[in-house]
Amino acid sequence: MKVGIIGAGAAGLAAALDFSAGGHKVVVYEAAPFIGGQASTIPVGGAPLERGYHHLFTNDQAILDLMDDIGVAETMKWYPSRVGTYTSGKVYKTTTALDLLRFGAIPFLERIKLGLFALKVGRIKEWRDLENETADFWLRERLGGAAYDKVWAPLLKGKFGSFYDRIGMPWFWSKIQTRFASRQGIRGREMLGYPDGSFDTVFDKLQEVIESRGGEVHVSTPVEKVDVVDGVARGLVARTESGEEIREEFDTVLSTVPSFLFPDMVELPDDYKKRLLDVHYLAAVVVILELERPLTNYYWMNIADPDIPFLGLIEHTNMLPKEWYGGKHVLYLTNYLDRSDDVYKMSQDELLDLYLPHLTKFNPEFDRSWIQGVHYNALSAAQPIIPTNYSKAIPDHRTPVKNLYLANTSQIYPEDRGTNYSFRMGRELAEMMMNDEQRSWSVWQ
Ligand SMILES: Cc1cc2nc3c(=O)[nH]c(=O)nc-3n(C[C@H](O)[C@H](O)[C@H](O)COP(=O)(O)OP(=O)(O)OC[C@H]3O[C@@H](n4cnc5c(N)ncnc54)[C@H](O)[C@@H]3O)c2cc1C
Residues shown for the chain: 445
CATH of residue 313's domain is 3.90.660.50
Full domain range(s) for residue 286: 280-384
Residues 358, 333: Cα–Cα separation, whole Å: 11
Q: What is the pLDDT of residue 101?
A: 87
Q: What is the pLDDT of residue 100?
A: 85
Ligand 1 near 419 CB (within 6 A): yes
Q: What is the pLDDT of residue 97?
A: 82
Q: What is the mean pLDDT of residues 238-267?
A: 98
Domain boundary among 341, 360, 384: 384
pLDDT in tens, 368-418: 999 999 999 999 999 999 999 999 999 999 999 999 999 999 999 999 999
Report the separation in Å between the CA atom of 113 and the middle of ligand 1, taken as the mean of its atom positions: 36
Report the separation in Å between the CA atom of 148 and the middle of ligand 1, taken as the mean of its atom positions: 31
Q: What is the pLDDT of residue 185?
A: 60
Question: To test ligand 1's pocket by mutation, which of 419, 420, 423, 425 has the most ligand atoms within 8 angstroms of CB?
Answer: 419
Asked if the model's pLDDT at residue 441 lies above 70, the reply is no
Task: Determine, yes or no, domain membership for 189.
Answer: no
Q: What is the pLDDT of residue 438?
A: 87
Task: Determine, yes or no, domain membership for 432.
Answer: yes
Q: Are residues 293 and 267 in the same domain?
A: no
Contact present, 31 and 217 (Cβ < 8 Å):
no
CATH of residue 266's domain is 3.50.50.60
Domain boundary among 333, 365, 384: 384
Rg of the Cα atoms in the chain: 22
Beta strands across the sheet bearing 252-255: 216-218, 25-29, 2-6, 252-255, 404-406
Contact present, 136 and 106 (Cβ < 8 Å):
no
Q: How confident is the model at residue 184 (pLDDT cuts 50, 70, 90)?
A: low
Residues 113, 139: Cα–Cα separation, whole Å: 11
pLDDT in tens, 61-74: 999 999 999 999 99
Ligand 1 near 395 CB (within 6 A): no
Q: Are residues 214 and 229 in the same domain?
A: yes
Task: Determine, yes or no, domain membership for 120.
Answer: yes
- DSSP letter at 332? E
Q: Are residues 173 and 207 in the same domain?
A: no
Domain boundary among 384, 418, 436: 384
Asked if the model's pLDDT at residue 444 lies above 70, the reply is no
Write the residue with the smallest CA distance to atom 15 of ligand 1: 418
Q: Are residues 159 and 170 in the same domain?
A: yes
Residues 334, 336: Cα–Cα separation, whole Å: 7
Structure-derived torsion over alpha carbons of residues 304, 305, 310, 312, reported in degrees to the nearest 10: -20
Task: Determine, yes or no, domain membership for 26.
Answer: yes
Q: What is the pLDDT of residue 260?
A: 97
Helices (H), 90-242: 97-101, 108-123, 135-137, 145-146, 153-160, 169-181, 200-212
Ligand 1 near 284 CB (within 6 A): yes
Task: Determine, yes or no, domain membership for 175.
Answer: yes
Whole-number percent of the chain with pLDDT over 70: 97
Q: Which atom of ligand 1 is nearest to the CA of 421?
A: 19
Q: End-to-end alpha-carbon separation of the chain, Å?
A: 17
Residues 332, 318: Cα–Cα separation, whole Å: 12
Q: Are residues 289 and 369 in the same domain?
A: yes
Q: Are strands 2-6 and 25-29 parallel, antiparallel or unpaired?
A: parallel
Write the residue with the smallest CA distance to atom 10 of ligand 1: 418
Task: Determine, yes or no, domain membership for 75.
Answer: no
pTM metric for this prediction: 0.95
Report the separation in Å between the CA atom of 242 and the middle of ligand 1, taken as the mean of its atom positions: 25
Residues 63, 112: Cα–Cα separation, whole Å: 35
DSSP 3-state of 244: coil
Contact present, 63 and 75 (Cβ < 8 Å):
no
Report the separation in Å between the CA atom of 9 and the middle of ligand 1, taken as the mean of its atom positions: 6
Q: Are residues 422 and 275 in the same domain?
A: yes
Report the separation in Å between the CA atom of 18 and the middle of ligand 1, taken as the mean of its atom positions: 19
Residue 271 burial by CB count (10 A; 0-12/13-18/19+): exposed, middle or buried?
Answer: exposed
Asked if the model's pLDDT at residue 198 lies above 70, the reply is yes
Residue type for 29, please?
A: Y
Residues 427, 430: Cα–Cα separation, whole Å: 5
Q: Are residues 241 and 173 in the same domain?
A: no
Domains: count for the chain: 3
Report the separation in Å between the CA atom of 20 and the middle of ligand 1, taken as the mean of its atom positions: 22
Ligand 1 near 11 CB (within 6 A): yes
Residues 56, 194: Cα–Cα separation, whole Å: 6
Q: Are residues 343 and 421 in the same domain?
A: no
Asked if the model's pLDDT at residue 178 lies above 90, the reply is no
Contact present, 393 and 276 (Cβ < 8 Å):
no
Q: How confident is the model at residue 187 (pLDDT cuts 50, 70, 90)?
A: low
pLDDT in tens, 272-327: 999 999 999 999 999 999 999 999 999 999 999 999 999 999 999 999 999 999 99
Residues 429, 443: Cα–Cα separation, whole Å: 21
Report the separation in Å between the CA atom of 313 and the middle of ligand 1, taken as the mean of its atom positions: 20
Q: Are residues 28 and 168 in the same domain?
A: no
Residues 139, 121: Cα–Cα separation, whole Å: 11
Report the separation in Å between the CA atom of 39 and the middle of ligand 1, taken as the mean of its atom positions: 6
Q: Are residues 267 and 346 in the same domain?
A: no
Ligand 1 near 429 CB (within 6 A): no
Write the residue with the smallest CA distance to atom 38 of ligand 1: 257
Q: Are residues 291 and 368 in the same domain?
A: yes
Q: What is the pLDDT of residue 28?
A: 98
Task: Determine, yes or no, domain membership for 143.
Answer: yes
Report the separation in Å between the CA atom of 124 and the middle of ligand 1, taken as the mean of its atom positions: 29
Task: Determine, yes or no, domain membership for 370.
Answer: yes
Q: Are residues 289 and 380 in the same domain?
A: yes
167-181, 207-221, 239-253, range with the lowest pLDDT: 167-181
Write the residue with the smallest CA distance to atom 49 of ligand 1: 37
Q: Mean of the per-residue pLDDT values for the chain?
A: 94
Listed residue (107, 135, 50) closest to 320, CA to CA: 50
- DSSP letter at 311? S
